[in-house]
């Protein structure tokens, strides 16, 4: 096998599963250690640098990092319910417990660079672009049809999940960098916007249209049938304060979960979620389904809506066909009638939350900006540039509805492109991330990180009592970890960024590391093809998504193969190694943001 | 020396044996030996062997003398019986224990100083008595615990860390054991578990006196150039005579060999020691030839390893002494005090 090139920044980055999985590549273990050390402000700033909205994301993030987290794999067969580290909720700990950090944020640029950028929409994607470009001296004008900035963070996510004060604070940090926010100003024509001589335009207008359900009765009973996202924003704005006692929510995604939980707080006593698919295939995150069920909301699956029923123009309920899942030879699923009689469910209101669509009625089709056959703009996946060189896309507007952290990640990449574009550089040439390796050795068996491994199971975030929580749409349900629970949960993190680094010429092949490793990660063996080597290891390396760290150059001609999969980063291999062939080195991977090198990194408190 | 205890977490796919134990269940306390010590690898090999043989930990007794090597029983088989005896006296304590209860599996762990220097007399007698045991010498050529003085197995002409040349002849414990009647004699190297683990398994199954002389580099005092017990030196001079595969009753025989390549020894519990010959014509069942071979290979500067000698039908001390099969602690008063009538009968027989 080819020896591993550990100097390529991606190799060790991939070992930090959470950071690799995070679209914005937040240095998770670094901030978790800072939380354990009680350095909440520093933990916050590390987050702020990468994901711009730590307090918001710490409550709402889709957390792609958690399914990827090594702790979940490590606990398999070791814990009755293996769980990842509560990465997301620890982020909230940093946000909740930090001091006033305003002095430590960048200041509005003193010197402008003369370039003007327009952002359409004031959602997380545009705000990220603004955050990255403002300190470099760009003049950023943000347009939004709504009166306040935040996009769907403000209009869609219900207050019981995300208090308005948190939005105000973090959106404020961005606007205070000197953005010009044109509130209540909808852009009706991209052509005329371009005519205003902006140097570049960023489209972060989201995916604003909720899908409708065109089945019999839809028109007749329209007064009590609502499109989920429109209804949620009306609730957010305070235009809607009540709903009927019996509510059906259609759909299985996170919007459906927000609709049903909001209904419970606005007078819905008997709220049901009814979905076409099976429970397990629902799009909503497991924890959102859990939260809904915790509030006494049943989720009824395998029911396909057939008609709205009504009497004298008033909605009376809905009929559903009951289906079941059938799998063909290729494992492809289809829903087929189960043969059971149709079901009628009575209700007073229906919320349709079956998906969102993009809509760009304000973009002319004759300005050199191509759209594909699905009506989506043609956007480069790396540069986020459209076919009209001046126009960049990001967030839900670029490739369809996703989530906040993806919008942020797009924003960072688009900002790099916009900066390069304005400086007449090639947008296709992307700056590589920076990787810095630092030995953690302090003494013979002393490390500058806490290498002891706790056996604790994941801690649950304390919740407000349901009876109080359901009384008001504004009462935040989750109380968040306090300092003590936050510390305990932080201790579950395995410090995957503290890498096992191997130096073959120092190794005397004594096997000490092989014998001590609690997870059977290390093997000295004959070289071979990867598929064959994987089978011959101390513990066969069956998780193909995880790399083998290979090193040649040993005296016996064998190779060292380390399976990264379930390494605890406990450092025992390095403690046991008589020659220092193993060392524990912290990799700090910093994704490059716009204008990298042109402005100083945020100052952390003295180490 | 490590201060952090080994986390209890184990690999999610860690296999279990017939008793439902994982290999980790055969571990002991965390080792306090120097990092890189060969003795720790031998501990790991013992753990692996006991796991693979499905041995119930509570049926094993670990006995040792004094030395770094003799400390190691703390670091494996944490749920077995153990007795850390006096320097060089492990063999007599083991013999006594074995006489009292032959149902346990006896594992003697010793060092080259413990066995070849202060304990040579005990070593000789435990071998010639044929005590049913697995006797492992963790041989590093020095007194590790007392900071690296030459031991009696140090080769003549080899250099100490400070450059002093050893003028005394070395004792070859494997050769000695063969001469004194041990019925299973092997030599191996701590850095070669593929060879060592099966040899330990074979010894544990062998119903007689089994000696394993395992060269085990001392990283602190005897791993320099000029040493003949260093990792590098042993790797360069290691000449394995055969490769052992222990086939227990439940294990399927999968590999095929051409005739002449294999030598099989059937043990009386039904298991088979299958030897794949690496050295042409080496016959592990011929004691005299094996002894000659050892002398020859030593003269050539080679370290012969593998299963050097095994007797198919060994007898042990109990057979020779015609002792009672029941462990002494299980004998009832009626067995131990047969009464005046029985005495009268014996006396009558002597008249
Ligand atoms: C009910 C619901 C709950 C959600 N919950 C979560 C969650 O918990 N976690 C999560 O990560 N994601 C969640 N999401 C998804 C998340 O809100 C979006 O993915 C994210 O906000 C997209 O960001 P964006 O910047 O692309 O656009 P948006 O946030 O959609 O912002 C677009 C903005 O552009 C404005 N705009 C649009 N067109 C124009 C125009 N022509 N002129 C001027 N302004 C314009 C809009 O008014 C809006 O303010 C949820 C979505 C919904 C619908
Ligand atoms: C009766 C007695 N004499 C001397 C000693 C000092 N002593 C302790 S360990 C040891 C030598 C151990 O050498 P070895 O058996 O090779 O063990 P190693 O430490 O090398 O593994 C000696 C001489 C002692 N403990 N008791
Ligand atoms: S254990 Fe910690 S560093 Fe490792 S993947 Fe999970 S959160 Fe990230
Ligand atoms: S840090 Fe070393 S000893 Fe610990 S699990 Fe990873 S490879 Fe094994
Ligand atoms: S402990 Fe160190 S010297 Fe020994 S095998 Fe492992 S890496 Fe090599
Ligand atoms: Mg010794």
Q: Cβ contacts of residue A333 below 8 Å, gap of 6+?
A: A281, A325, A326, A327
Nearest to A578 among B6, B13, B34 (CB): B34
3 state DSSP class of B99: helix
H helix intervals, chain B: 38-52, 68-71, 90-100, 112, 120-128, 173-179, 193-205, 231-237, 287-299, 317-321, 333-336, 340-350
Q: Which two tokens stand for residue A83?
A: 């769980």
Contact between A301 and A277 under an 8 Å Cβ cutoff? The reply is: yes
Pairing of strands B242-247, B272-277: antiparallel
Task: Indicate if the pLDDT at residue A167 is higher than 50.
Answer: yes
Q: Flag whether B291 is in a domain.
A: yes
Picking from A72, A81, A509, A518 by the largest number of B CB atoms within 10 A of its own CB, the best residue to mutate is A518
Q: Which two tokens stand for residue A606?
A: 């003295």
Distance CA A142, CA A175 (A): 9
Question: A76 contacts in B (CB within 8 Å)?
Answer: 12
Q: Cβ contacts of residue B337 below 8 Å, gap of 6+?
A: none
- Among B172, B178, B218, B162, residue whose Cα is nearest residue B314: B178
Does the distance separating the beta carbons of A512 and B41 come in below 8 Å? yes
State the CB neighbour count (10 A cutoff) for residue A245: 13
Comparison of pLDDT for A7 and A444, the residue scoring more: A7
State the CB neighbour count (10 A cutoff) for residue A531: 8
The domain of B264 spans 23-321
Q: Flag whether B336 is in a domain.
A: no
Q: Flag whether B70 is in a domain.
A: yes
Does the distance separating the beta carbons of A578 and B235 come in below 8 Å? no
A238–chain B nearest CA distance, Å:
51
Does the distance separating the beta carbons of A511 and B191 come in below 8 Å? yes
Mean pLDDT on A151-165:
97
Q: What is the DSSP letter of B22?
A: B
Category of B254 on φ-ψ map: left (φ > 0), alpha (ψ -120 to 50) or beta:
alpha
Phi, psi of A549 (to 5 degrees): -90, 115
pLDDT of chain B along its 351 residues, tens only?
A: 457 889 999 999 999 999 999 999 999 999 999 999 999 999 999 999 999 999 999 999 999 999 999 999 999 999 999 999 999 999 999 999 999 999 999 999 999 999 999 999 999 999 999 999 999 999 999 999 999 999 999 999 999 999 999 999 999 999 999 999 999 999 999 999 999 999 999 999 999 999 999 999 999 999 999 999 999 999 999 999 999 999 887 665 555 666 567 888 888 788 888 888 888 889 999 999 999 999 999 999 999 999 999 999 999 999 999 999 999 999 999 888 989 999 999 999 998
Category of A89 on φ-ψ map: left (φ > 0), alpha (ψ -120 to 50) or beta:
alpha
Q: Is residue B195 less than 8 Å (CB to CB) from chain A?
A: no
Q: Which two tokens stand for residue A27?
A: 């240095």
**pLDDT grade for A602, boundaries at 50, 70 and 90:** low
Q: Which two tokens stand for residue A413?
A: 């990449």
Does the distance separating the beta carbons of A518 and B12 come in below 8 Å? no
Q: Flag whether B338 is in a domain.
A: no
Q: Is residue B13 less than 8 Å (CB to CB) from chain A?
A: yes
Does the distance separating the beta carbons of A510 and B217 come in below 8 Å? yes
Distance CA B293, CA B70 (A): 30
Nearest to A510 among B4, B12, B36 (CB): B36
Q: Which atom of ligand 3 is nearest to the CA of A17?
A: 5
For ligand 6, a single-atom ion, the residues with CB < 5 A are B 111-113, 140, 144
């017990």: which residue's tokens? B229
Question: B40 contacts in A (CB within 8 Å)?
Answer: 512, 515-516, 576
Domain containing B269 — which CATH number?
3.40.50.970
Q: Which two tokens stand for residue A386?
A: 């459209």
Q: Is residue B194 less than 8 Å (CB to CB) from chain A?
A: no
**pLDDT grade for A607, boundaries at 50, 70 and 90:** very low
Does the distance separating the beta carbons of B13 and A542 come in below 8 Å? yes
State the CB neighbour count (10 A cutoff) for residue A102: 11
Give, for A467, the enclosing helix (H) or strand (E).
helix A466-469
Q: Which two tokens stand for residue B7?
A: 């986390």
Distance CA A228, CA A219 (A): 16
Q: Ligand 2 pocket: which of B90, B137, B145 to mutate (most atoms <8 Å of CB)?
A: B145
3 state DSSP class of A584: strand
CB pairs under 8 A between A and B: 104
* Dist. CA A585 → ligand 4 center (Å): 13
Task: Indicate if the pLDDT at residue A314 is higher than 60.
Answer: yes
Q: What is the DSSP letter of A187?
A: -
pTM: 0.93
Q: Flag whether B205 is in a domain.
A: yes
Category of A51 on φ-ψ map: left (φ > 0), alpha (ψ -120 to 50) or beta:
alpha
H helix intervals, A62-180: 65-68, 70-74, 87-97, 124-133, 152-155, 164-175
Nearest to A453 among B7, B13, B40 (CB): B7
Mean pLDDT on A436-441:
93
Q: Flag whether B340 is in a domain.
A: no
State the CB neighbour count (10 A cutoff) for residue A532: 12
Closest-CA residue in chain B for A541?
A: B13
Question: B35 contacts in A (CB within 8 Å)?
Answer: 512, 575-578
- Among B104, B45, B94, residue whose Cα is nearest residue B72: B45
Task: Indicate if the pLDDT at residue A58 is higher than 60.
Answer: yes
User: What are the residues facing B16 on neighbouring strands?
Assistant: B22
């995880």: which residue's tokens? A546
Does the distance separating the beta carbons of A519 and B10 come in below 8 Å? yes
Nearest to A512 among B12, B24, B35 (CB): B35
Distance CA B230, CA B154 (A): 11
Q: Nearest ligand to the C-alpha of residue B71? A: 2
Q: Which atom of ligand 5 is nearest to the CA of A508?
A: 3
Q: Looking only at Cα atoms, what is the longest distance across chain B? A: 72
**Residues in chain B, overall count:** 351
- Residues 76-135, chain B: which have Cβ within 8 Å of A? none
Q: What local confidence, expressed as pLDDT, does residue A79 receive?
A: 96
Q: What local confidence, expressed as pLDDT, does residue B266 receive?
A: 85
Nearest to B11 among A444, A451, A566 (CB): A566
* Dist. CA A519 → ligand 4 center (Å): 7
Q: Report how many domains make up chain B.
A: 1
Mean pLDDT on A28-38:
98
State the CB neighbour count (10 A cutoff) for residue B256: 6
Contact between B30 and B175 under an 8 Å Cβ cutoff? The reply is: no
Residues in contact with ligand 1 (CB, 6 Å cut-off) = A 60-62, 120-126, 143-146, 151-153, 156-157, 186-187, 204-206, 208, 229, 232, 254-255, 258, 362, 395-397, 401-405, 407
Q: What proportions of chain B, in percent to the nearest 5, are helix, strand and coil?
A: 35, 20, 45
* Dist. CA A41 → ligand 1 center (Å): 28
Angle of the B120-128 helix axis to the B90-100 helix axis, nearest 10: 30
**Residues in chain A, overall count:** 607
- Among A374, A351, A81, A361, residue whose Cα is nearest residue A210: A351
Task: Indicate if the pLDDT at residue A605 is higher than 80.
Answer: no
Average pLDDT value for chain A: 95
A71–chain B nearest CA distance, Å:
11
Q: What local confidence, expressed as pLDDT, does residue A432 receive?
A: 86
Question: What domains can you pick out in chain A, each with its CATH number?
Answer: 17-104+434-490 (1.10.1060), 116-208+358-422 (3.50.50.60), 210-354 (3.50.50.60), 498-589 (3.30.70.20)
């Amino acid at each position: 096998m080819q020896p591993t090139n550990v100097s390529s920044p991606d190799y060790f980055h991939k070992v930090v599963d959470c950071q690799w999985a995070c679209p914005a590549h937040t240095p998770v273990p670094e901030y978790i250690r800072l939380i354990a050390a009680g350095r909440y402000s520093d933990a916050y700033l590390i987050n702020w640098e990468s994901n711009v909205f730590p307090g918001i994301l710490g409550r709402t993030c889709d957390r792609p990092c958690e399914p990827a987290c090594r702790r979940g794999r490590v606990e398999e067969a070791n814990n009755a319910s293996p769980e990842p580290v509560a990465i997301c909720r620890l982020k909230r700990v940093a946000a909740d417990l930090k001091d006033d950090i305003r002095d430590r944020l960048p200041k509005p640029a003193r010197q402008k660079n003369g370039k003007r950028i327009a952002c359409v929409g004031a959602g997380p994607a545009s705000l990220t672009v603004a955050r990255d470009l403002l300190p470099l001296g760009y003049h950023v004008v943000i347009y939004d049809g709504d009166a306040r900035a935040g996009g769907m963070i403000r209009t869609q996510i219900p207050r019981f999940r995300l208090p308005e004060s948190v939005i105000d604070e973090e959106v404020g940090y961005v606007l205070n960098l000197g953005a010009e926010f044109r509130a209540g100003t909808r852009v009706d024509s991209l052509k005329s916007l371009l005519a205003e001589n902006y140097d570049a335009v960023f489209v972060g207008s989201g995916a604003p249209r909720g899908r409708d359900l065109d089945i019999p009765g839809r028109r007749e009973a329209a007064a009590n049938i609502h499109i989920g996202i429109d209804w949620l924003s009306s609730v957010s704005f305070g235009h809607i304060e009540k709903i009927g006692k019996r509510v059906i929510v259609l759909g299985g995604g996170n919007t459906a979960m927000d609709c049903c939980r909001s209904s419970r707080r606005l007078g819905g006593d008997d709220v049901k979620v009814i979905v076409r698919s099976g429970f397990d295939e629902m799009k909503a995150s497991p924890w959102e389904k859990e939260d809904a069920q915790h509030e006494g909301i049943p989720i009824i699956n395998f029911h396909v809506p057939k008609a709205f029923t009504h009497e004298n123009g008033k909605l009376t309920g809905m009929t559903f066909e009951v289906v079941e899942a059938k799998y063909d030879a290729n494992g492809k699923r289809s829903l087929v009638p189960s043969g059971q009689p149709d079901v009628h469910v009575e209700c007073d209101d229906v919320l349709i939350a079956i998906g969102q669509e993009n809509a760009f009625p304000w973009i002319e089709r004759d300005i050199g900006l191509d759209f594909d056959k699905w009506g989506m703009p043609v956007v480069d996946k790396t540069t986020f540039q459209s076919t009209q060189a001046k126009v960049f896309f990001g967030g839900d507007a670029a490739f369809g509805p996703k989530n906040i952290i993806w919008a942020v990640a797009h924003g960072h990449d688009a900002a790099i492109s916009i900066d390069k574009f304005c400086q007449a550089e090639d947008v296709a040439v992307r700056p590589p991330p920076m990787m810095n390796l630092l030995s953690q050795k302090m003494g013979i068996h002393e490390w500058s990180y806490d290498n002891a491994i706790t056996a604790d199971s994941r801690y649950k975030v304390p919740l407000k009592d349901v009876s109080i929580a359901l009384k008001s749409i504004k009462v935040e349900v989750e109380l968040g970890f306090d300092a003590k629970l936050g510390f305990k949960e932080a201790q579950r993190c395995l410090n995957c960024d503290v890498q096992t680094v191997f130096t073959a010429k120092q190794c005397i092949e004594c096997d000490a590391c092989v014998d001590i490793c609690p997870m059977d990660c290390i093997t000295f063996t004959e070289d071979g093809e990867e598929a064959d080597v994987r089978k011959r290891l101390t513990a066969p390396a069956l998780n193909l998504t995880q790399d083998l760290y290979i090193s040649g150059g040993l005296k016996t001609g064998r190779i060292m193969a380390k399976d990264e999969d379930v390494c605890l980063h406990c450092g025992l291999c390095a403690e046991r190694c008589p020659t220092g062939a193993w060392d524990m080195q912290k990799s700090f991977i910093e994704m490059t943001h716009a204008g990298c090198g042109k402005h100083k990194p945020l100052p952390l408190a003295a180490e | 020396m490590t201060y952090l205890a080994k986390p209890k977490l184990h690999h999610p796919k860690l296999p279990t044996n017939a008793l439902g134990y994982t290999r980790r269940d055969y571990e002991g306390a965390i080792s306090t030996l120097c990092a890189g010590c060969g003795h720790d690898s031998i501990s790991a090999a013992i753990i692996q062997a006991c796991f693979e043989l499905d041995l119930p930990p509570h049926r094993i007794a670990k006995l040792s003398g004094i030395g770094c090597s003799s400390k190691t029983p703390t670091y494996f088989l944490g749920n077995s019986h153990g007795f850390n005896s006096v320097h060089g006296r492990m063999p007599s304590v083991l013999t006594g224990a074995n006489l009292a209860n032959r149902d346990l599996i006896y594992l003697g762990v010793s060092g080259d100083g413990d066995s070849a220097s202060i304990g040579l007399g005990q070593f000789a007698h435990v071998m010639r008595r044929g005590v049913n045991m697995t006797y492992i010498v963790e041989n590093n050529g020095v007194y590790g615990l007392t900071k690296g003085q030459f031991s009696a197995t140090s080769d003549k002409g080899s250099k100490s860390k400070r450059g002093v040349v050893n003028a005394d002849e070395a004792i070859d414990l494997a050769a000695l054991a063969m001469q004194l009647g041990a019925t299973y004699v092997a030599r191996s190297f701590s850095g070669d578990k593929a060879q060592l683990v099966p040899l330990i398994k074979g010894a544990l199954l062998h119903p007689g006196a089994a000696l394993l002389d395992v060269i085990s580099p001392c990283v602190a005092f005897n791993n320099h150039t000029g040493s003949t017990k260093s990792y590098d030196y042993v790797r360069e001079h290691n000449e394995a005579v055969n490769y052992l595969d222990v086939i227990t009753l439940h294990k399927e025989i999968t590999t095929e060999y051409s005739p002449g390549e294999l030598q099989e020894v059937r043990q009386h519990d039904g298991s088979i020691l299958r030897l794949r010959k690496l050295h042409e014509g080496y016959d592990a069942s011929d004691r005299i030839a094996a002894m000659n071979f050892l002398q020859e290979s030593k003269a050539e500067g080679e370290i012969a390893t593998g299963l050097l000698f095994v007797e198919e039908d060994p007898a042990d001390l109990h057979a020779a002494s015609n002792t009672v099969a029941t462990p002494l602690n299980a004998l009832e008063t009626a067995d131990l005090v047969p009464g005046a009538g029985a005495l009268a009968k014996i006396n009558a027989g002597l008249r």
